[in-house]
């Protein structure tokens, strides 16, 4: 196994530890939510950036359920901050929660928890994107994605979906080629690409 694949496995196991430590999925399920991992952890493409993306749904949708779940999460001593945005009247039709968590290992993790209104445009959308990415990933494209993610500076703001599109659709295989591809395809808000 290559070094980048070993590194990715290590980060993904640490992310699973964070899920166990915080009981994140169980907390949301305790308020009647369906909680779905999306993004890099779901796809096995998590490396270097310690972040976990979760989309949750409740039916009926109640603001109080969202706050109750986050209050339960806040009881964990590792939670350092929670930010909230109400986008129910925006295109997103969701509540956004952004959490900073220091794990028992001492690493800082970011958790983006999006509570999406059932029946809205993004209801299930990113779950579908994740499934499509998983369906088309090959060992070669997975390693290329992980290598690019690992080579990019952590502080540089790049969405994983940009890298996935560049590798899967654009044939990009390294950081230099990704930067060239990105100049021709600058991100503009939410990236709605699906393989």
H/E stretch holding 81 reads strand 79-87
What is the model's pLDDT at position 157?
87
Q: What does R_g of the chain's alpha carbons equal in angstroms? A: 17
What is the model's pLDDT at position 188?
79
pLDDT > 80? residue 8: yes
Rounded CA-CA distance 174/181 in Å is 10
What is the model's pLDDT at position 124?
94
Cis amide bond preceding 60, omega within 30: yes
Count of CA atoms in the C-beta half-sphere (13 A) of 138: 7
pLDDT > 90? residue 85: yes
The string of pLDDT tens digits covering residues 99-124 is: 999 999 999 999 999 999 999 999 99
> Binning pLDDT at 50, 70 and 90, where does residue 190 land?
confident
Three-state DSSP class for residue 55: strand
Rounded CA-CA distance 134/138 in Å is 9
H/E stretch holding 122 reads none
What is the model's pLDDT at position 189?
74
The string of pLDDT tens digits covering residues 162-186 is: 999 999 999 999 999 999 999 999 8
134 vs 154, higher pLDDT: 134
- Mean of pLDDT values over 140-150: 97
For the chain, the average pLDDT equals 95
pLDDT > 80? residue 142: yes
The string of pLDDT tens digits covering residues 39-72 is: 999 999 999 999 999 999 999 999 999 999 999 9
Contact 126, 39 (CB under 8 A): yes
- Mean of pLDDT values over 142-162: 94
What is the model's pLDDT at position 162?
95
pLDDT > 80? residue 137: yes
Rounded CA-CA distance 154/131 in Å is 26
Rounded CA-CA distance 25/116 in Å is 15
Q: What is the pTM of this model?
A: 0.92
What is the model's pLDDT at position 193?
86
What is the model's pLDDT at position 154?
87
């Amino acid at each position: 196994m290559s070094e980048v694949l070993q590194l990715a496995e290590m980060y993904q196991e640490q992310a699973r530890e964070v899920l166990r430590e915080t009981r994140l999925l169980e907390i949301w399920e305790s308020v009647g939510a369906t909680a779905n991992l999306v993004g890099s952890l779901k796809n096995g493409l998590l490396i270097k950036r310690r972040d976990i993306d979760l989309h949750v749904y409740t039916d009926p949708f109640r603001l109080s359920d969202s706050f109750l779940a986050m209050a339960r999460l806040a009881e964990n001593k590792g939670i350092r901050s929670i930010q909230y945005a109400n986008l129910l009247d925006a295109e997103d039709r969701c509540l956004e929660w952004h959490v900073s968590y220091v794990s028992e290992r001492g690493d800082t993790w970011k958790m983006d928890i999006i509570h999406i209104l059932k029946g809205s445009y993004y209801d299930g959308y990113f779950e579908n994107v994740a499934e499509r990415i998983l369906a088309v990933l090959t060992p070669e494209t997975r390693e290329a994605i992980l290598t690019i993610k690992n080579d990019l500076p952590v502080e540089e703001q790049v969405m994983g979906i940009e890298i996935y599109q560049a590798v899967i659709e654009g044939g990009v295989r390294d950081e230099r080629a990704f930067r060239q591809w990105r100049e021709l395809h600058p991100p503009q808000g939410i990236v709605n690409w699906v393989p």
